[in-house]
Structure 1
């Protein structure tokens, strides 16, 4: 799915889009730490994700994901009138550990 994305996002929180009749896509790349927390929260609250009921998060390009950012992703997906169905793809083992530590495995499908 991420291969269909029109451009390669810069390091940091990445990009979000909502293709017709498909889950909203969030592509994250690089080392995402507290330095990018505010920008990540803004992207998670942007219309493509805020309005979608299903999210596909491509984390194949993420080399590090801070626990605070994992909590931001968890809050954005669950603290809504109708929680988003969340599918996380391509996260490295260390990133998966962080996601699980934040509790995302309880609300998301985490794919290799």
Structure 2
């Protein structure tokens, strides 16, 4: 069994960290969408997307992230950390840069 491409590595009332690895493409979209519905994420006001292990993300997954963050009942402070240039490009194409800060 292979590890999922995204998982919650920590979550409390203030902050959650989602770690991404490998490829996040259309085949993984269902896994991503299910994880984004996790109740622990609804209880926190800030998310860090740790993407240093992510090789590739497709637009459908990037849009899923954007949809989730923009439709939460309470605002979420979003930080994308460690994304490779190609991953950053796709996230920006989806418009995630309008709701997230990017760090190394």
TM-score normalised by structure 2 residue count: 0.90
Q: Does 1:90 align with 2:82?
A: yes
Q: What runs of 5+ residues in structure 2 fail to find an aligned partner?
A: none
* Other structure's SS at 1:82 match: coil
Q: How does 1:1-112 map to 2 (within 5 A)?
A: 10-12=3-5, 14-16=6-8, 17-19=10-12, 22-112=14-104
Q: CA deviation at 1:50?
A: 2.1
Distance 2:3 2:35 in 1: 14
Question: Which runs of 5 or more residues in structure 1 are unaligned?
Answer: 1-8
Quote the RMSD (CA, aligned, Å).
1.5
Number of equivalenced pairs = 102
Inter-partner Cα distance in structure 1 for 2:24 and 2:31:
10
Give secondary structure in 1 for the equivalent of 2:52: strand
* Aligned counterparts of 2:83 and 2:40: Cα–Cα separation in 1: 22
Q: CA–CA distance in 2 between the matches of 1:111 and 1:104?
A: 13
CA contact (8 A) 2:14 2:45 kept: no
Distance 2:54 2:30 in 1: 17
Which structure's relative contact order is higher, taking Cα pairs within 8 Å and 6+ residues apart?
A: 2
Runs of 4+ more than 6 Å apart: none
